[in-house]
Structure 1
Amino acid sequence: MEKTIKSFLSVANYHLIEQQLNKLLNAYTTTKDKNVLQAVKGLVENEIFNAIDPSEEQTKLIEPLYTITERQQGDSFLQNLKPYVIPFYQISTAELKKLFRKEKKLKLPNLEDLDFQHICYLNWDDTQTHRKYIVIEDEGNLKALKGTMSTKVIKGVCSICNHHGDVSLFTTKTKGQTAETFTKYSNYICINGEQCNHNISDHAKLIEFFTRISE
């Protein structure tokens, strides 16, 4: 498949399509009832089009999904679709230092190892201080957040991706309305930031989470 149109899928859109593909493939492995399979296809199509609202040309790129019945076909489809994914902002270490300029000993992530077409937000951990750093992109603007991760891991729902898995308490604090006061926010989030990113299928919910605990 040649790329003849502009990239139009957010990373979250791509994850949504992958999740819906898995739903379809799971249906084929659990039933042979044509009515059930047709119903699942309808649900999958509605989920995708309600989230993306593609143009006619973009629809032609997505439509092969509904004929896939095997994992190998699905993997090939996703690979062909990836060039149309808008990557996360190609941030530099200098920009990260500027975002966290108050951090005296900022531990930086290895940006060269990241696939920016796979992440909805940038995150990394400083295991010595138990700090987690998060950077999101909101309408072309980079926003940064830092907090501490509890060492206690439980099974629960992540406040960022809304998926169930291994989570830990992430605590942040912002300046209060009066001088020298702070407001703390504690939320359970995935301990595995890479998996959390992969789970996100709605970028708006990520923005809502960030806004709620940082403003």
Structure 2
Amino acid sequence: MIETFIRNHQYNFIKKQTGILQLACKTVSDSKVVEAVRYSTESKVLELFQNAADTQKQLLVKASALKTDEDFQSYLSGLEPYLVEFPQVTEKQLKQLFPKNKKLKIPDLSKIDYSHITYLSWLDIATNKMFIVYNLQGKVVGIEGKYIPTNKKSTCFLCNKHGETALFSAVSKSRPANSSPDYYKAVGNYMCIASHECNKSITDITSLERFIQEVIG
């Protein structure tokens, strides 16, 4: 039985690094430069999996030996069985995460590829709300907030990709000591409107986890 150990954002990172190597193999004639890129690719990938078992590291370092387009495609395809799936949530679980939304619109969960998402998100256009579900330290949590489309391209704070974004803002549940009853704090940032595209590009979960922690307190 295959033991999964690669999360979606890590797979995206590997894909990004091997993409740089693949481009170098195609466009750079200096073999020393290509070898330097190979070394960089291997080092960065292994740095991401410092606690991986030796057999897992052996699988990952194969990236440094890739040469042809077929090699790169075969390598990435070979990693897919090792992807850690996002927890497969049910409609009932989602409603429990957002109990105040009695008419919560649930996305079609049957169409989600749980191996290739870092977070689950969807929009409710009728209420201008965005919902985010994430597995934070082994616990599935949900946050909701208002979204305002920017109607122009900007950089998503989660995946750093330049594209169609919206300003997402949520009310923080954390309260300073001795705060007044009407204390209010909103946490906001610009993020991709299309979460499936964001999930294809996100390579680091630091900003996502920091944002969620700010909201849930």
State TM-score, norm by structure 2.
0.90
Contact 2:172–2:214 (CA<8 Å) still a contact in 1?
no
Residue from 145, 167, 186 that aligns with 1:184: 186
Contact 2:46–2:61 (CA<8 Å) still a contact in 1?
no
Distance 1:42 1:153 in 2: 41
Q: Which moved more, 1:123-132 or 1:152-161?
A: 152-161
Distance 2:192 2:68 in 1: 30
Distance 1:76 1:205 in 2: 31
Query: 1:5 deviation in Å?
Result: 4.6
Which one-letter code corresponds to 1:35 in the other structure?
A: K
Residue from 167, 175, 194 that aligns with 2:165: 167
Query: 1:67 deviation in Å?
Result: 1.9
Which one-letter code corresponds to 2:24 in the other structure?
A: A
Query: 1:152 deviation in Å?
Result: 2.2
Query: 1:10 deviation in Å?
Result: 1.6
Aligned length: 212
Which one-letter code corresponds to 1:212 in the other structure?
A: E
Runs of 5+ consecutive residues of structure 2 not aligned to the other structure: none
Runs of 5+ consecutive residues of structure 1 not aligned to the other structure: none
1:96 aligns with 2:94: yes
Contact 2:122–2:130 (CA<8 Å) still a contact in 1?
yes
Secondary structure of the residue aligned to 1:91 is coil
Distance 2:44 2:191 in 1: 25
Which one-letter code corresponds to 1:194 in the other structure?
A: H
Aligned match of 2:205? 203
Which one-letter code corresponds to 1:25 in the other structure?
A: Q
Secondary structure of the residue aligned to 1:152 is strand
Distance 1:124 1:107 in 2: 9
Distance 1:203 1:95 in 2: 23
Alignment of 1:8-157 (within 5 A): 8-53=5-50, 54-157=52-155
State TM-score, norm by structure 1.
0.91
Contact 2:46–2:60 (CA<8 Å) still a contact in 1?
no
Distance 2:69 2:163 in 1: 24
Distance 2:122 2:69 in 1: 31
Q: Which moved more, 1:202-211 or 1:114-123?
A: 202-211
Distance 1:40 1:114 in 2: 35
1:6 aligns with 2:3: yes
Which one-letter code corresponds to 1:45 in the other structure?
A: E
Secondary structure of the residue aligned to 1:145 is strand
Q: Which moved more, 1:109-118 or 1:18-27?
A: 18-27
Q: Which moved more, 1:181-190 or 1:133-142?
A: 181-190
Distance 2:87 2:183 in 1: 33
Contact 1:11–1:120 (CA<8 Å) still a contact in 2?
yes
Contact 1:157–1:167 (CA<8 Å) still a contact in 2?
yes
Which one-letter code corresponds to 1:151 in the other structure?
A: P
